[in-house]
Amino acid sequence: MIRVVLTDIEGTTSSLSFVKDVLFPYARRHIDRYVREHASEAQVTALLNEARREMGNPGAGLDAVIAQLADWIDHDRKVTPLKALQGLIWEAGYAAGDFSGHIYADAAAALRDWHGRGVRLYVYSSGSVHAQKLLFAHTEYGDLTPLFSGYFDTRVGHKAETASYRHIASQIEEAPEAILFLSDIVAELDAAREAGMQTCQLVREGDLDPESAHRQARDFAHLSLKIQN
């Protein structure tokens, strides 16, 4: 029986193309100017220092840090301070009306239905918690953030590591077997299952795998949950 749904974003609630073709390029175009304009602000200063530690160069100058941030974006690195800075840049983009958060219609409908039936909903994505909230707050279906009980990013651990899912279950005080994790990535699903969670792979494009170790669904409308209230 399911009491909690923990969901990924990219390829699950939202299209990969939105993240890869809209959000990432937007951050890439704006990161140089944004960092230079906001480097003296406490939050950004702290993130830049965290990036320096990730670089292994605590004394790196601003130009070197910006170059490293851009390189991390170009190579799709899941580096925590970069993700946080991207979230700040996207916040400015949402506020300016440059884009809105993409959510599949089936995901929006199911999330509302599950919430209404008493299921606790959480997000676990490599994007920062701030970026996650921004995406769900600015959708064509309105602000969906009231549906969620919490959000997790790579500060809880990397998504292919079993320990991350154990930490999440512990933090939300729920038995792993009562949690359903949704993702399009097999390695993440494997880690969640190893932690004791139930799993389902979203396969929005391509063929289903009849030999998959995980339950599969084309979209949220094809997910039937046995819900325990």
Residue listed under structure tokens 């884009």? 99
The pTM score is 0.84
Q: Could you tell me the CATH number of the domain that includes residue 190?
A: 3.40.50.1000
- Residue 228 within any structural domain of the chain: no
Q: Are residues 77 and 169 in the same domain?
A: no
Tens-level pLDDT at each residue, the chain (229 residues): 899 999 999 999 999 999 889 999 999 999 999 999 999 999 999 999 999 999 999 999 999 999 999 999 999 898 999 999 999 999 999 999 999 999 999 999 999 999 999 999 999 998 889 989 999 999 999 999 999 999 999 999 999 999 999 999 999 999 999 999 999 999 999 999 999 999 999 999 889 998 899 999 999 998 877 776 5
What is the arrangement of strands in the sheet containing 148-152, beginning at the earlier edge strand?
Answer: 148-152, 120-124, 4-7, 179-183, 198-202, 215-217
* Strand ranges, E, within 61-140: 120-124
> Position 3: which residue type?
R
Distance between CA 142 and CA 159 in Å, rounded?
A: 28
Q: Are residues 22 and 113 in the same domain?
A: no
Distance between CA 136 and CA 153 in Å, rounded?
A: 15
Q: Could you tell me the CATH number of the domain that includes residue 71?
A: 1.10.720.60
Sign of CA dihedral 87, 93, 94, 96: positive
Q: Are residues 107 and 216 in the same domain?
A: yes
User: Domains in the chain: how many in total?
Assistant: 2
- Structure tokens, 48: 């830049």
Q: Are residues 112 and 134 in the same domain?
A: yes
Q: Are residues 114 and 169 in the same domain?
A: yes
49 by Cβ neighbours in 10 Å (0-12 / 13-18 / 19+) ranks as middle
| Structural domain span for residue 117 | 4-15+101-222
Where among 96, 114, 137 does a domain terminate?
96
Distance between CA 182 and CA 201 in Å, rounded?
A: 6
Q: Are residues 85 and 119 in the same domain?
A: no
